Structure 1
Amino acid sequence: MSGVAFVSGGTAFSQQATPLRGSVDENVLQTQQNTPPRPAPRPAVSAPALAGTGDAGIPSDPYQPISPGALPDADAGNLGLNGVPVNDGSPPSGPVDNSGGLNPPPATVPTDIPLPADRATAATQRTRPAQPSLRAGQTPDALTTGALEDETGSNPKAQRTDKDNLPEPALERRFVKPDPEPFAPLGIRAGTVTLRPSISQGIRATTNADDSSDGKSAILSETRLRMRATTDWSRHSAFLDFDGTYDKTLSGQDYSAPNIGLRGGFKLDLGERTTVTGEGGYRYRQEDASAPTAVTGASNRPAVQELDATLGVRHEFGRFFGEVKGKVDHTTYGRAEFPDGTTISQKDRDNTFASVALRGGFEMSPAIKPFAEVEIGKLMYDLTEDSNGYRRSGMRTALRGGIEADFGEKLSGELALGYLRQGIDDNRLSDVDGFSVDGAIKWSPQRGTDVNLGLLTRVEGATAPNDSGSIFYEGRLGVKRQIRSNLSVNAELTASLRDNKDGSGLDKGFGAEVGATYWFNRFLGLDVSARHRITRSEVDTRQTTESSVYMGLTLQR
């Protein structure tokens, strides 16, 4: 019997070969039927047979392993070239070396070519178990498996690698970052709005209850309610603040004074270079007893209500910017009461002020922006003439120049210096004009220390005949230091100057206050403070002195 064998990627070409030709010995068929099926050795393909020069071909020598004992003799008949089992339909007799799967052998491989040295060495180190294929009626023999070495050049042993997805430690052992502000209020969250309320209740002992020139000492109950609502929108922002204080006498001079302030605002970013801002506020207070406009001899301090609103648009042109802002203020005054029960209306003092300010500047650096501003407005009294027959309405103009600063948390704010002039329609009264200074600066020289500076200039009207009014300047410097996470100290200095245009000279005021806050926990704290204020004037009714101490508790959320 003769045949041709082809090896190409594991494909069986025997089905495409021509039918067997020649006679078959009968004793061969009888031997296959009477003896247990055992695969006969397949002859190896010789070189002439591969060439396909004849139909019969010349049989080659049986395959002999390079190293004796590499393969069991019982399984040698089921192996083809290089120890690869022949695909005759029977199950494989042992592990198959698949190391050549990426580079399959060529279709024709001559047998007379010696194996490489590394393959010969690997063959001597590799043993295959004898696992003959089973046929019908055959009893399986005992299987023995030898050691299979992987340390070969073609199939190196896989090394152990470290895992990338290590398991997380237990929750009890996880490191928790400490809260930098463990005593700060948590707030009440509603969607994207967070509300932080607080209420304080304390006792104040003072030497001058109503802060007047003839005030007496008293012990006051002081209640303060504060609420602040802020948003955490990704692009725009808004806020709403409420601050209300009520003082009531417990002993000493009879005194009762509410002070309420409400302010809200928003900021809209209409693109990368256009910003719209707006604010509005309401305040209810009592008129200062040392003010020149205070009614002499009144038994009460008349109420003053202030309502204001601003709206501005800012646009940047490269390194330059421009801003236009409109402002409206309305102020009303309550009735003055006298000890005999009579009252006097102050409606002739009610007024409305409206103005438009134009500001332009350039960016010297990302943090410093100088600017110039011009403001034009109109002061309009509700009554054309006051109780003395004077027309006090008039135009107001202002020219300012300053610097905007934005160094992040380190320093921010603005400072402006300029000239202010308030005209009066009545020719019998002179205009009120003078130097102006305005600004609000926040500075943090180091973490835990905050310094706030506030400066303002305003025009005050008058009610007396031949009195045009005054210009009032005020400055506040406050310092707050966080000594510990639950202990902070603060100090504030105030100074004021009133330039009276009626010839009564200057009114000067000074004040100092120190205090501390200790938090027992995140919700309860203790407040203590002490202050001293004085006012000096050429008019005796405007001179005041007051000293007080305060102690109270604060609840916050």
Structure 2
Amino acid sequence: MTTIAQPLIATTIALAGLPTTGWAQGIDASDAPFQLLRGSSGPFVLPPPSSEQIAPFLDPSPMLMNNRDLGSGPLQASSFTNTRRPTTLTNPSVHERVYADLNASAAGSTPTPRRRRSQAIDPYEQLGLMLGGLKLLPAVEADVGYDSNPRRIATGVKGSTLVRTMAELKLQSEWVRHSLTGTLRGSYDAFPGMTDVNRPAGEGRVNLRVDVLRGTQIESEGRYSVTTQQPGNPNLPNGVVNQPITSSFGGTLGLVHTFNRVTVGLYGDVDRSTYGNAKLADGTSLSQDDRNYTQYAVRLRTGYELSAFFTPFIEGRLDKRRYDEHFDSSGYARNSNGIGARIGTAINISGSLTGEVAAGLEHRVYDDPRLADLNGPIGEASLVWTATPLTKLRLRASSTIGETSVVGSSGVIVTQAGAEVEHALRRNLTVTGALAFSNNNYQDVYLRENGMTGSVRLDWKLTRTLAFRASFTHERLDSTSPGSDYTANIFLVGLRLQR
């Protein structure tokens, strides 16, 4: 019986399409040998669709492991059809496994599915707090260091110890419909022994999208910015010894609808800018209320989805700027109306390059006939390039027409550009380098300011909640206004606590 059974079984194996050790054998892509190959320099081996019929697993031969063309993907079921004379299985372990599979199939049993290896979890990733369907990512930071020029002045420079505290909150919704995202930051720099130059800083944006109908959304944004003016600022009178606080806050509300590949959006913007009192050397306080103003704007934007990667658009806007006081301290009526247009494109090359680039022109007309009409470039660029899984490059640039109180000048064209490179030395050790340039070109007067900032920062994540930071920043300003140049170097080390 044994002599008759063995050829019969071998014939059954051949007719069933089972591979033998005499030629290429079927391999389940989830098995350990292919897990090893996934980590090699070859392409990723995709598992076969569930509808494909794969022959029962057999141990792969060394020849298969060495000569397998991974670029062709997994073998299809039809590839296992035997076209050569079958050979006898001589490996005892393989022999037993084949018989076990045949017996299981005959009994009508279903083989136990193999467990797939779970994806790796970053042990240093910030987890956040869940509030319903909203994820909150809070963080606080405390740094101590040294600032070589806290007053940002050209002469009589005196350094000081710097203590900086910072708080941050990020919002991220996880809703099926609608979306809420945002980032809020605030910091305070304290200089022991020089309390008159202590200063706050902050910025934030919160965006809400409401999905009304299919293809129709309501988009809104709230924003704020807090900073300080330096004593050498040309918009401040001579003799100012403090750093007045300036703040901006505003919002946007828009309706967006998509027609096939065309997207049309209508937006309304309101932004408010205020300036704090300046302090003179004799202790006198000087009001800057005449510089406070509000801007109202309406924008129409139309975009066309050229491809999955590029969406070109054109945008037009009308705005007006209204000051709280019709005349400033120099007797100029600085209310103005503006019109502008720009063209650009949104970029979304998944896993590589994302962002938006736009450029255009703006024309402003002022109420005071002594102030010449102002024409200038406007635009914005914000790009993120993932060069490698360990390296990211961020590029930012902008050009705007700003307000000024300089006598005889209609306004200032502000141009900024910067780049930041982030590289992970290890999964918990990151180094970041940044370089930024700025230019303030005051119209109708001979006044130019060129600024440069360079920095390098090291982030060492100790746990999910605790990280060590060290940074160095160099600031420089060159101005055609006498006594406004300065140079400053800032060193900081500290700890970041996050949840």
TM-score by length of 2: 0.75
How many angstroms does 1:496 deviate by?
0.4
Question: Based on CA coordinates, which of the two structures has the bigger radius of gyration?
Answer: 1
> Could you say which residue in structure 2 is the equivalent of 1:183?
124
Distance change in 2, residues 1:538/1:158 (3 Å): closer
Check conservation: 1:433, 1:471, Cα contact below 8 A: no
When structure 1 is superposed on structure 2, of 497-506 and 546-555 the one drifting more is: 497-506
- Report the AA paired with residue 159 of structure 2: S
Question: Of residues 134, 146, 151 in structure 2, which corresponds to 1:210?
Answer: 151
Correspondence 1:256 to 2:198: yes
Check conservation: 2:377, 2:400, Cα contact below 8 A: no
> Could you say which residue in structure 1 is the equivalent of 2:274?
332
Mapping of 1:22-33 within 5 angstroms? Answer: none
Distance change in 2, residues 1:540/1:158 (3 Å): closer
Looking at structure 1, the residues matched to 253 and 113 of structure 2 have their Cα atoms a distance apart, in angstroms, of 56
- Report the AA paired with residue 312 of structure 1: G
How many angstroms does 1:290 deviate by?
4.3
How many angstroms does 1:159 deviate by?
8.0
How many angstroms does 1:317 deviate by?
2.2
Looking at structure 2, the residues matched to 251 and 384 of structure 1 have their Cα atoms a distance apart, in angstroms, of 41
When structure 1 is superposed on structure 2, of 360-369 and 482-491 the one drifting more is: 360-369
Question: Of residues 420, 430, 436 in structure 2, which corresponds to 1:478?
Answer: 420
Correspondence 1:230 to 2:172: yes
> Could you say which residue in structure 2 is the equivalent of 1:163?
109
- Report the AA paired with residue 110 of structure 2: D
Looking at structure 2, the residues matched to 497 and 363 of structure 1 have their Cα atoms a distance apart, in angstroms, of 34
Correspondence 1:374 to 2:335: no
Correspondence 1:322 to 2:264: yes
Check conservation: 2:252, 2:269, Cα contact below 8 A: yes
> Could you say which residue in structure 2 is the equivalent of 1:385?
327
Question: Of residues 370, 387, 395 in structure 2, which corresponds to 1:445?
Answer: 387
Correspondence 1:501 to 2:443: yes
Distance change in 2, residues 1:521/1:158 (3 Å): closer
> Could you say which residue in structure 2 is the equivalent of 1:466?
408
Check conservation: 1:238, 1:264, Cα contact below 8 A: yes
Distance change in 2, residues 1:320/1:177 (3 Å): closer
3-state secondary structure, aligned to 1:221: strand
3-state secondary structure, aligned to 2:151: coil
3-state secondary structure, aligned to 1:554: strand
Check conservation: 1:217, 1:252, Cα contact below 8 A: no
Looking at structure 2, the residues matched to 213 and 374 of structure 1 have their Cα atoms a distance apart, in angstroms, of 42
Check conservation: 1:220, 1:251, Cα contact below 8 A: no
How many angstroms does 1:556 deviate by?
0.9
Correspondence 1:278 to 2:220: yes
> How high is the sequence identity, in percent, across the aligned residues?
28
3-state secondary structure, aligned to 2:483: helix
Distance change in 2, residues 1:399/1:247 (3 Å): same
Higher normalized contact order (CA 8 Å, seq sep 6+, divided by chain length): 2
Check conservation: 1:474, 1:495, Cα contact below 8 A: yes
Distance change in 2, residues 1:226/1:462 (3 Å): same
Q: Which has the higher strand share?
A: 2
> Could you say which residue in structure 1 is the equivalent of 2:138?
197
Looking at structure 2, the residues matched to 454 and 478 of structure 1 have their Cα atoms a distance apart, in angstroms, of 9
Mapping of 1:110-121 within 5 angstroms? Answer: none
- Report the AA paired with residue 238 of structure 1: L
Distance change in 2, residues 1:160/1:515 (3 Å): same
Mapping of 1:101-180 within 5 angstroms? Answer: 160-161=106-107, 163-164=109-110, 166=112, 177-179=119-121
Distance change in 2, residues 1:422/1:323 (3 Å): same
> Could you say which residue in structure 2 is the equivalent of 1:423?
365
Question: Of residues 179, 183, 186 in structure 2, which corresponds to 1:244?
Answer: 186
Looking at structure 2, the residues matched to 541 and 275 of structure 1 have their Cα atoms a distance apart, in angstroms, of 52
Question: Of residues 382, 399, 403 in structure 1, which corresponds to 2:345?
Answer: 403
Distance change in 2, residues 1:482/1:162 (3 Å): farther
Check conservation: 2:379, 2:399, Cα contact below 8 A: yes
Distance change in 2, residues 1:431/1:204 (3 Å): farther
How many angstroms does 1:514 deviate by?
0.8
Distance change in 2, residues 1:268/1:163 (3 Å): same
- Report the AA paired with residue 449 of structure 1: T
When structure 1 is superposed on structure 2, of 279-288 and 324-333 the one drifting more is: 279-288
- Report the AA paired with residue 107 of structure 2: T
3-state secondary structure, aligned to 1:348: helix
> Could you say which residue in structure 2 is the equivalent of 1:359?
301
> Could you say which residue in structure 1 is the equivalent of 2:478?
536
3-state secondary structure, aligned to 1:277: strand
Question: Of residues 384, 394, 402 in structure 1, which corresponds to 2:336?
Answer: 394
Looking at structure 1, the residues matched to 326 and 196 of structure 2 have their Cα atoms a distance apart, in angstroms, of 38
Looking at structure 1, the residues matched to 496 and 245 of structure 2 have their Cα atoms a distance apart, in angstroms, of 28
Looking at structure 1, the residues matched to 105 and 265 of structure 2 have their Cα atoms a distance apart, in angstroms, of 69
> Could you say which residue in structure 2 is the equivalent of 1:7?
none
Question: Of residues 229, 232, 235 in structure 2, which corresponds to 1:287?
Answer: 229
Distance change in 2, residues 1:254/1:352 (3 Å): closer
Looking at structure 2, the residues matched to 253 and 209 of structure 1 have their Cα atoms a distance apart, in angstroms, of 10
Check conservation: 2:419, 2:436, Cα contact below 8 A: yes
Looking at structure 2, the residues matched to 325 and 530 of structure 1 have their Cα atoms a distance apart, in angstroms, of 40
Unaligned regions of 5+ residues in structure 2, if any? Answer: 1-102
Check conservation: 1:298, 1:338, Cα contact below 8 A: yes
The one-character-per-residue Cα deviations of 1:383-412 (angstroms, maximum 9, x if unpaired) are 111122211101011111111112234222
Check conservation: 1:432, 1:471, Cα contact below 8 A: no
Looking at structure 1, the residues matched to 196 and 334 of structure 2 have their Cα atoms a distance apart, in angstroms, of 36
Looking at structure 2, the residues matched to 329 and 209 of structure 1 have their Cα atoms a distance apart, in angstroms, of 30
Check conservation: 2:333, 2:368, Cα contact below 8 A: yes
Looking at structure 1, the residues matched to 208 and 105 of structure 2 have their Cα atoms a distance apart, in angstroms, of 63
- Report the AA paired with residue 412 of structure 2: S
> Could you say which residue in structure 2 is the equivalent of 1:432?
374
Distance change in 2, residues 1:274/1:289 (3 Å): farther
When structure 1 is superposed on structure 2, of 397-406 and 252-261 the one drifting more is: 252-261
Distance change in 2, residues 1:438/1:266 (3 Å): same
Check conservation: 2:231, 2:241, Cα contact below 8 A: no
How many angstroms does 1:242 deviate by?
1.9
Looking at structure 2, the residues matched to 429 and 168 of structure 1 have their Cα atoms a distance apart, in angstroms, of 77
How many angstroms does 1:550 deviate by?
1.2
Aligned CA RMSD, in angstroms, stands at: 2.3
Check conservation: 1:217, 1:253, Cα contact below 8 A: no
